[in-house]
A and B are shown apart, each in its own frame.
Chain A
Amino acid sequence: MNHATIAHAHEGGHHGVPHGWRRWLFSTNHKDIGTMYLVVSLIMLFLGGGMAMLIRAELFMPGIQLLQPDVYNNLVTNHALIMVFGAVMPAAAGMANWMIPLMIGAPDMALPRMNNMSFWFLVAAALMLVISMVVPFLPGGGTPVNTGWTLYPPLSVQVGMSMDFLIFTVHLLGISSILASINIIVTILNCRAPGMGLMDMPIFCWSWLVTAFLLIVILPPFAGAVTMLLFDRHFGTSFFNAAGGGDPQLFQHLFWFFGHPEVYVLLLPSMGILGHIIPTFARKPLFGYQSTVGAMLAVGTIGLAVWAHHQYTTGLSLAAVTYFMIGTIVISIPVGLLVFNYIATMWRGAMTFETPMLFAIGIILMFSFGGLTGVMLATIPGDIQYHDSYFVVAHFHYALIPGALLGLYAGVFYWLPKWTGNMYDERLGKIFFWMVIIGFNLTFFPQHFLGLAGMPRRIIDYNPMFTEFNMISSIGSFIFGAAHLVFLYVIVKTVRGGARAGDQVWEGAKGLEWTLPSPPPFHTFTTPPQIKLAQSEA
């Protein structure tokens, strides 16, 4: 797609680089904002990961050893929220900020001040979330949010005032993500270098275009739902209260109208990253560029219409569940096509196995597994058994850790030399990779068996018959957790120094971003590069 030649690339800028704290707080530079996003998401990753470690430590043995039940439930809730909104989405947004302008030859994001605002809204949301976690420990603070990230009423109506802080956290996150999405869409549609059509765009930009559109559509219903929840809690309305003619299921519909596409919001950017890594290390172009774009669009659109497969057991009619079952299973078509295209890109390439490529291969294999258990879950008779059991926990971690998180790790290793100008330590990168793969599979594979044997999810205490698998799972999770110390070390080490990286960091990499120095200057492409597509591609 991108045999682009650059006729005219002019570096340097009209203003100098700002210094001191103002550079970061008041930033209007996509690279600085991207860096801030990435740093915040790394902090959140450790916070959410620490919670996961506590959860697994508690579940290591039957009985209640470490945590109060409500604190445990709160950790379950916040682990999900922090990982989804604090770690994965900001990391993806950070990479979008860094890479999209470089990839499409734009001088910056289309609306730089708004870009800064969406970042700081994220920080404000994180602060609000921390407040909601701390409040229950203060005198008169009430119960912690013990509802799980789904925040289902009536349970969420019972919760203490920390729920109100969480509701406003959702509002702040909503504002942040919507503004960021607007910015990304406008940048992609309006700021491409002359000569770059939509179908010449790098696949990462396409994945974010679909993602951003999804976010704009799904976040308002979520914000609306929690607003109604706030009214039910404090102003006596009856949206989710049968006594007043409302229905708790309404919240579930609104939540999952957001919650299901959100899964694709997490997945797509990482899939976009793979669309760069695999061609680079296979040294041949992406197989089926058009169908990959089509698949992403299809995932986005179909994904908007299948939300209620999370509610098979709540009392939907036969017609409704049949529709949602078929719709959900149909999603496997574009997702399958996506995975197929990536495998076909590797096929007959000349592969080398640097850390990003190792991650890409691991992702394809493990994500396929998570996708296939997804088809099992979509088939309703089976789902009646799997629903709300550990099988579901295993499934979505198999979908989201490879599909979203590991894709971002791959992106970090792929682009870190470009961002910092230094090569990372390949040996440490590989150690990290293998620790992640072993830890991850050890953690979540046994959970399938737990679910099938009848262990419900979100319980703090369990019967001794579930002990063995839980122990294995906990040990795996500790390995998985420890791996991240290596990750942190690699990143810090790379930022501080290392072998110099050239413009073209990877032998097989294609695209505008690799024509720039590593690290790129503060302002890039202030005069847009002229793109001429190689004749054979047209």
Chain B
Amino acid sequence: MHGGSQFKRLMQFLAVALFLGVAGHVHAEYGINFPEPATPSARDIYQIHMRTMTIATVLLIIVFAIVSYSLYAHRKSRGFTPDQNFHRGWFGRWSWVLVPLLVLGVDMTIAGSAEEVLKRLWLVPKDKDMMEVKITGHQWWWEYEYLDQGVRVESRYVPQEKAGSLYLRDVDNPLVLPINTKIRFLNTSADVNHSFWVPQLGFKKDAIAGYITETWAVIDKEGTYRGQCAQLCGTWHARMPIVVQAVTPEKFTAWVGAQKTRMAAAEAEAASGKVWSKEDLLEKGRDLYNKNCSACHQLDGKGLPPAFPPLMAGGGFPAGENMTKPLQERGFFKDGKIVVGPVPKHLDIVLNGIAGTPMQPWNQLNDLEIAAIVTYERNAFNNNTGDVIQPADVAKARGATAPAKSD
């Protein structure tokens, strides 16, 4: 960003804004109202928004007018003598009834118009054939699971160098959805509360750790819709953009097919029993670590104490007992410092997480991915243990410790 050019844009914009007047119409470039709705519910909301805003504006104009007149007319400098009995007249005696009745009328108009739309928004239809998408918020990325199709997508923000003007509005893998299909969204979170918000789709629901909140929508226009996480979720709250790509059902089916092929290939690779070289694992591991783990444990493995421990042997971890004790029990913490513990425990932590701490289970990753990550963690950051973990080791660990998967 260059300050000079920004300032020029600002000046141009100010000129335009002055010219148009502030309460004008939707102006695409500068966005002073909702972006164009893409679902029936977003359109309903838009209408209610415009209606309440109109009522509010009218009321405000009335208030301004009355006050302005009074300021002009009832001034001492114009020689106006105060009407000491004004509050004792019929108006003074009955205004406490009249004003509330008036306000009540306005209130009921507003609430009444909202009531029906509210019902439609709130009651998720119970159709059997609805498409279901589970949205899981993570610090700081989104996970989308297409429950009917068995497809899983991870969606992360794209750094400024690559995203350009779409910085913080663009992701690597968008949420692809078919149009003209009833979709039920199941929101949840793996760590702290997040909130899924794409203004053009007309719904916003918090993703609450340990609970499922439901919403639904029918997108009726093809397009790319952008939004952001709307619930403060810690350090990189600003870096949780959302991109929804609405496509025709045919294109969607094709996309699902491609995703399945991709996943099957990865799955096959992981299960092939192939023995991987340390170099390959390290290379894969670095990518996966940077993608999955670095948000908390940092790219350099130094962590963010006291919530997120360093992964670097010898790193200090000043934190409460609730954090250090589980690590100590697993052999990863000694004398106030992080040490590299035994491999099985390492796998256990990654696969099953540590209850009561922010560390979540990562068992949705496949054996190869976990093997690569653990290999990387044990050799990077000057840990240099020389350990190489193969997918088969992970498979064994998974069988030994994983609880029965609930879904």
Hey, which bits of chain A sit against chain B, CB under 8 A?
61-63, 69-70, 73, 139-143, 146-148, 152-155, 158-161, 233-234, 236, 241-243, 247-249, 282-288, 290-291, 294, 313-315, 317-318, 321-322, 325-326, 329-330, 332-334, 336-337, 339-341, 343-352, 361, 364-365, 368-369, 372-373, 375-376, 379-382, 384-385, 387-389, 445, 449, 452-454, 456-465, 467-469, 471-472
Contacts and interface: CB of A to CB of B under 8 A. Distances in A.
A365 B118 contact: no
A329 B107 contact: yes
Contacts of B99: 336-337, 340
Given A61-B3, A461-B168, A241 B210 contact: yes
Given A61-B3, A140-B318, A333-B107, A384 B203 contact: yes
Given A322-B115, A376-B52, A389-B230, A142 B110 contact: no
B141 to A, nearest CB: 16
Interface stretch (B71-79, B274-282, B369-377, B378-386): B71-79
A349 B34 contact: no
Interface in B33-77: 33-35, 44-45, 48-49, 52-53, 56, 59-60, 63-64, 66-67, 70-71, 74-77
Given A155-B193, A333-B107, A372 B60 contact: yes
B96 interface: yes
Contact of B10 (A62, A287, A384, A471): A471
A233 B322 CA distance: 8
A69 B238 contact: yes
Nearest to B304: A143
A464 B118 contact: no
A384 B304 CA distance: 34
Interface string B231-255: 1111111110000000000000000
Contact of A318 (B31, B35, B83, B123): B123
A388 to B, nearest CB: 4
Given A142-B318, A159-B307, A454-B199, A315 B56 contact: no
Given A325-B111, A368-B60, A140 B86 contact: no
Contacts of B67: 343, 346, 361, 364-365
Contacts of B59: 368, 372
Interface string B101-125: 0011011001100110111011100
- A63, A294, A326, A351 — which one has the most chain B CB atoms within 10 A of its CB? A351
Given A287-B86, A452-B31, A452-B33, A332 B103 contact: yes
B204 interface: yes
B209 interface: yes
B404 interface: no
A145 to B, nearest CB: 11
A159 B319 CA distance: 10
Contacts of A143: 235, 304-307
A456 B228 contact: yes
Given A284-B82, A372-B56, A382-B52, A155 B63 contact: no
Given A73-B232, A459-B237, 10 more contacts: A143-B304, A143-B306, A234-B322, A287-B87, A350-B75, A368-B60, A385-B34, A449-B32, A454-B228, A462-B168
B71 A361 contact: yes
21 contacts: A142-B306, A155-B234, A248-B209, A249-B208, A287-B92, A313-B204, A314-B208, A322-B115, A322-B118, A347-B70, A348-B70, A349-B82, A350-B81, A373-B56, A379-B48, A379-B52, A452-B34, A459-B238, A463-B168, A465-B169, A472-B10
A365 B65 CA distance: 10
Contact of A337 (B83, B96, B204, B228): B96
Nearest to A344: B95
A315 B22 CA distance: 35
Contact of A154 (B3, B33, B77, B191): B191
Contact of B9 (A146, A352, A468): A468
Contacts of A464: 1, 165, 167
A154 B319 CA distance: 17
B45 A384 contact: yes
Interface of B: 1, 3, 6-7, 9-10, 13-14, 22, 30-35, 44-45, 48-49, 52-53, 56, 59-60, 63-64, 66-67, 70-71, 74-77, 80-84, 86-87, 91-92, 95-96, 99-100, 103-104, 106-107, 110-111, 114-115, 117-119, 121-123, 160, 165-169, 191-193, 195, 197, 199, 202-206, 208-211, 213, 226-239, 304-307, 316, 318-320, 322, 355-356, 358
B66 to A, nearest CB: 6
Contacts of A337: 96, 99-100, 103
In this complex, the member of A243, A314, A318 whose beta carbon has the largest number of chain B beta carbons within 10 angstroms is A314
A459 B228 contact: yes
Contacts of B13: 468
A352 B159 CA distance: 58
Contacts, number: 333
A83 B209 CA distance: 30
A449 B34 CA distance: 9
A497 B369 CA distance: 75
A70 B236 CA distance: 8
A383 B355 CA distance: 35
A62 B66 contact: no
A467 B9 contact: yes
A381 B117 contact: yes
B189 to A, nearest CB: 8
A379 B114 contact: yes
A314 B214 CA distance: 10
Given A154-B192, A459-B237, A385 B35 contact: no
Contacts of A294: 96
A438 B286 CA distance: 53
Nearest to A387: B204
B76 A365 contact: no
A286 B236 CA distance: 51
Given A361-B71, A472-B10, A158 B192 contact: yes
Among A62, A373, A384, A471, find the residue whose CB has the most chain B CB atoms closer than 10 A. Answer: A384
Which among A161, A243, A463 has the greatest number of chain B C-beta atoms within 10 A? Answer: A463
A520 B44 CA distance: 61
Contacts of B95: 287-288, 291, 340-341, 344
A-B pairs, top 5 by smallest CB distance, nearest first, are: A242-B210, A140-B318, A453-B31, A291-B96, A459-B238
B86 A284 contact: yes
A152 B189 CA distance: 14
Nearest to A338: B99
A1 to B, nearest CB: 10
Contact of B232 (A155, A317, A462, A467): A155
A379 B111 contact: yes
B45 A152 contact: no
Nearest to B229: A456
A465 B122 CA distance: 31
A341 B95 CA distance: 9
Contacts of B305: 140, 142-143, 160
Q: Which of B7, B80, B111, B213 has the most CB of A within 10 A?
A: B111
Contacts of A380: 114, 118, 121
A282 to B, nearest CB: 7
Contacts of B71: 346, 351, 361
A341 B99 CA distance: 9
Nearest to B307: A158
Contacts of A325: 111, 114, 118
Contacts of A453: 31-35, 199
Contacts of A336: 99-100, 103
Contacts of B318: 139-142
B204 A384 contact: yes
